[in-house]
Chain A
Amino acid sequence: MDSNRLAFATFMLLLGYSSISSAVDDPLDDIPIVLSDNTLEQSPATSPVAISSIDREMIEASGARTIPDALRLIPGIVVGHSVNDFGDKPLLVVAYHGHSDQYSRQMNVLIDGRSIYDPLLGGVNWYNIPIAIDDIERIEVTRGPNASTYGSNSFQAVINIITRHASEDQGHFAKVNIGNHDIFDATYRYGGNSGDLDYRITLATVNDDGQDRADGNDANDDVSSGLIDYRLDYQINNRNQLTYQGSYGRTDQNAEQGLREPIKPERVIEDTNAHQYLRWDSTINTSQSFVVKYFFNYLDEQDEFTSRTIDMPPVDPFTFPVSLSYTSQRHNAEFTHFINPTKSIDLVWGLSAQLDKVDSDYYFLDTGGVKRNTYRLFANGIFELDSRNTIDIGALYEKSDGTDGDVSPRIAYLHHFNDMHTVRLGASQAVRTPFLFEQDGNVAFTGEATIGGTIPISLYELLYYPVNNLLTEKITTVELGYYGKYLQNRMLINARIFQDKLEDLIYAPEVPDPTGLDNVNGVAFVFDNLYKTSVQGLEAELDYRHDRSLRIVASGAILNIESEDEVRTGKSREYEESAPDHSFSLLAMKDFSSKYSASLGFYYVGDMAWMDANHNNTCEGTTPPPVSGCGYRNTRGVRKLDLRLVRNFKFGKENASLALNLQNLLGEYNDYDSAPSSQAPAVEQNLIAFLEFKLKMY
């Protein structure tokens, strides 16, 4: 620093000194504990599992309007827009290592430690999650099972979305996106404080018309959502803090009519969600702290319609009312105790209880709803044998209603060759408890019709029927990981090779109607533990900061899924095709000056097929193969190029920016099902262009 700058600083201080806060303390007084075991994140160099992190800078540079857009940066993760021809609600689907249909069931998703996956069907409706993307500080993704830390459903991966403390969002913030595809997003946030209370409130809306059909027509998958979200952080005293969060959101989604089924018409599905979250962080002393938390999630999905006209000779054409509506609730209470008896030992243990409750006359025909209690006891210990060697051991015991208790253990050994290079050898197991629909789903359509205009007939079409002995899915993972720092920490490399063994995978094949009541087609879907697979692969990430103005992050995955079933056809084969052999992402971020910056994102996903995509496009023996390709992998390699140009402004003390976002510059692509049926062309992503204006007022 030169003397001119110091002189300038001195001048500024003398000029503005009177306006500084007068609320000051004695430096000899105590200070609130801010960073303790319960708030600290684990460094990739010391983590017992592979963790990837998407920070605020990456989220913004990616131009992501939704969280899945940013998750493309994680190695092994694939994102798809499911507009299927069953007339289901369009979903953004995030899957890790395949095995996924539109409900990505093998993954846990948390917001600030609050699990948000749907207890009924599994997966997450990313259009409808109660969080504004601008409130997110970072997204941590644990690649591989980690039940002993994150609880049930932490099966193939865990996505943990972390928001900022209210004290970090002081002042006004506003953002507007306007673009093609009827994009209109708006966010307003205000953060303030009063004494020891920090608070923020966020209002947000996200709207677009979704994708287009390959023939250029707009697909009926419009989304319109609104959200109010708030967070209060109250410092009770220097060692205790209360956090209270809540939200209320509403999402309207258009759904296509069913093309591979005759019932569902085009319609609007209305989701209302809310949550309440109370958390008490307490630091007992420098070696002990605990967290007590309780949350409540609520979802009300309204999907009611009159069926399309059913033409099923000799029965006269008829319609009938349908309600696919349901409400779900989750209550969860958890206690976690952190102990550091010595500098070289970190211990965590805790217990939790969770109640999942779903009410629906459609999904649970006989009972109108189900509920399930789940109890968990978990413990984890990190033991530093010496400065170079660490062992991490953890386990979760989980018992849910209707299942036997399961233990999910984990062990990892880390060797630090020096401060720059670490290798990790780990093994872990986890289970996935069947979702309520898989466990107890009992679905049938009933309709009254006539034959020949006079003879009444009651029609009963059984769709799903439950079995009583459904087991948990199981995964066993062995991995060898490496974390290295190069170029004076400017380049970080995180890589691993792994093998996953998955057993008792749940699938619902069509079987003869077990009730004998079906008088339409005599068959029904029944969930069962049918398949087992193994996944081998290599994943790598690179984070390179050339200097303060240029940063490049890249990731890639090579994956091979093999069915371990004796007969590798049908669904077994579909598991093998459910993830790409190769995927890659790259995000380059460059600040040209304080006024101008730009980022460029490139994403490649190899051929694959989602589990519920149309797998009939095998065209075996066809020579030459059709342009659309052959085989099960009907989602052809996706190449996506995004560009973002930013102009920053200063209005007095306020910051503003205007950004032009251009996405899918390499042309249209389909990322879910390129050959859904013969009745309509596939839906596609095509050019997205939107302007983003941000204003931050302190």
Chain B
Amino acid sequence: MVSLVIRFAFSTPRWMKLIVILPVFLLSGTYANAGQGEHIIITISPNSQFQLDTAAAIRKNLEAIDIRASIISTENINASPAYANTAYILIGNAAASAYKAHEVDAPVLFISNKKLQNTRFTSAKANLVLEQPVCRDVPLIKAMDQDWESIAFLSSINSIERASDLTRCAIEYGFDIQVYAITNDTDLLKTLEMAIEDNDVLLAVADPLIYNSRTVKNILLTSYRRRKPVIGYSDNFVDAGAIAAVYTSANSAGERAAQIISDFIDNNWQFKSKVYYPTDFSVRTNYQVAKSLGISLPDDETLHNKIMVMEHK
């Protein structure tokens, strides 16, 4: 039985896992709701493995402190029970939108990559922002290859603030940074070619106006063709073909969210803060891409430690 579970975990395609796991979650959620005590309803988009993993991690951490949790998909938010002692954890933008449309009157912890705009946070409505500080990418780049000198950064109106932060940090670490303004799709293709031609590495941040499922293919392929590495912002991005990323892992997000909820309950159902940030970070590298580009990388743990050392200098 154990071997079957292991084989399922490691060799089964993701879509099949979703088919199998999601009903189990939904079913177990039903049982959870049937009991007494606090109910945490975790709402996710089932198409995202990261959200699925984060939800599972939250649930595991909550159950470890005897808080019942159920996982539902955004489509089912209308059907979710509204107990008096229910709180929501909404992972991702789709869940946030579904929540707003449903107008659920319950405490909620939004988990998003970037701080949600146009949302008024209160003691019953908080935001866990998973995005790592952009300045953490600079020591990562430094730790990966001492010979890299210049960083390309594509910026839309969404990420211009981060461009400013990044410029400051890059100078601090001795890098030359080139910021390229992207104002439309046409600019993206042309500017991308120029950016990767003129720099050693392309640094991507979570800016959906530039990096989305439609553009990421072109960005990664074009960079790869010119043998320039892309630094991503998530483990998904690394899976897709970025050479490395500093990111908040699903496990880490799960632990952090569970801790926030625990504190929230202990604090008479009031959040202590309106916006929370991750307390740690993970490093992930794409060994195959690095090897293909002829770049030898330290292992993930070494990179993590090097970043810590550089940040504490």
Contact = CB atoms under 8 A, between A and B. Distances in A.
Interface string A545-563: 0001000000000000000
B117 interface: no
B123 interface: no
- Most chain B CB atoms below 10 A, which of A9, A14, A27, A698: A27
A35 B291 CA distance: 12
A168 B181 contact: no
A33 B160 contact: no
Nearest to A384: B291
A34 B288 contact: no
A429 to B, nearest CB: 26
Given A12-B183, A37-B288, A29 B47 contact: yes
B163 A9 contact: yes
B214 A23 contact: yes
Interface string B179-191: 1111111110110
Interface string A502-516: 000000000000000
Given A25-B213, A31-B239, A34-B216, A285 B92 contact: no
A28 B160 contact: no
A168 B222 contact: yes
Contacts of A488: 147
Given A13-B157, A165-B217, A35 B289 contact: yes
Contact of A43 (B94, B111, B218, B292): B292
Contact of B48 (A29, A35, A137, A235): A29
A672 B167 CA distance: 59
A567 interface: no
A17 B177 CA distance: 22
Contacts of B111: 28
Interface in A647-694: 653, 655
Interface residues of B, number: 78
Given A28-B92, A35-B220, A284-B13, A343 B287 contact: yes
Given A34-B240, A170-B189, A20 B156 contact: yes
Contacts of B286: 35
A137 B236 CA distance: 27
B198 A34 contact: no
Interface string A496-528: 000000000000000000000000000000000
Nearest to B211: A27
Nearest to A492: B294
Nearest to B170: A1
A31 B237 contact: yes
Contacts of A35: 220-221, 224, 240-241, 286, 288-289, 292
Contacts of B164: 6
B209 interface: yes
Contact of A31 (B184, B190, B236): B236
Contacts of A167: 217-218, 221
Interface string B282-305: 000011110111101000000000
Interface in A1-50: 1, 3, 5-6, 8-10, 12-17, 19-21, 23-37, 40-46
B99 interface: no
B130 A17 contact: no
A655 B190 CA distance: 10
Contact of B167 (A6, A239, A288, A548): A6
A548 to B, nearest CB: 7
A138 interface: yes
Contacts of A29: 45, 47-48, 50-51, 92, 213, 236
A257 to B, nearest CB: 47
Interface in A469-511: 485, 488-489
Contacts of B130: 28
B234 A27 contact: yes
- Most chain B CB atoms below 10 A, which of A9, A138, A170: A9
B220 A34 contact: yes
A6 B179 contact: yes
B92 A20 contact: no
B155 interface: yes
A340 B206 CA distance: 29
A167 to B, nearest CB: 5
A548 B149 CA distance: 13
Contact of A28 (B50, B163, B180): B50
A196 B215 CA distance: 10
A419 interface: yes
Contact of B157 (A3, A17, A343): A17
A245 interface: no
A286 interface: yes
A46 B291 contact: yes
Contact of A20 (B93, B183, B211, B241): B183
A41 B176 CA distance: 29
Contacts of A171: 186, 189
Interface string B251-287: 0000000000000000000000000000000000011
A180 interface: no
Contacts of A284: 11, 13
Contacts of B157: 13-14, 17, 20
Contacts of B213: 25, 29, 31-32, 235, 238
Contacts of B182: 13, 20
- Most chain A CB atoms below 10 A, which of B91, B167, B286, B291: B291
B183 A16 contact: yes
Interface string A230-248: 0000010111000000000
A544 B234 CA distance: 35
B80 interface: no
A46 B186 CA distance: 37
B160 A45 contact: no
Nearest to A44: B294
A30 B183 contact: no
B160 A27 contact: no
A373 interface: no
Given A235-B217, A285-B10, A10 B289 contact: no
Nearest to A1: B177
Interface in B1-48: 10-11, 13-15, 45, 47-48
Interface string A416-442: 000100000000000000000000000
Given A33-B240, A37-B288, A45-B294, A698 B190 contact: yes
Nearest to B197: A548
The 9 A-B pairs of least Cβ separation, nearest first, read A16-B183, A35-B241, A27-B206, A24-B208, A12-B181, A43-B294, A27-B113, A9-B181, A17-B157
Interface of B: 10-11, 13-15, 45, 47-51, 91-94, 111-114, 130-131, 147, 155-157, 160, 163-164, 167, 170, 176-187, 189-190, 197-198, 206, 208-209, 211-218, 220-222, 224-225, 233-234, 236-237, 239-241, 286-289, 291-294, 296
Given A36-B288, A43-B293, A655-B190, 6 more contacts: A6-B179, A20-B184, A34-B241, A36-B241, A488-B147, A653-B186
Interface of A: 1, 3, 5-6, 8-10, 12-17, 19-21, 23-37, 40-46, 55-56, 137-138, 164-165, 167-168, 170-171, 193, 196, 198, 235, 237-239, 284-286, 288, 340, 343, 346, 387, 419, 485, 488-489, 548, 653, 655, 698
6 contacts: A10-B181, A30-B236, A35-B286, A284-B11, A343-B287, A548-B197
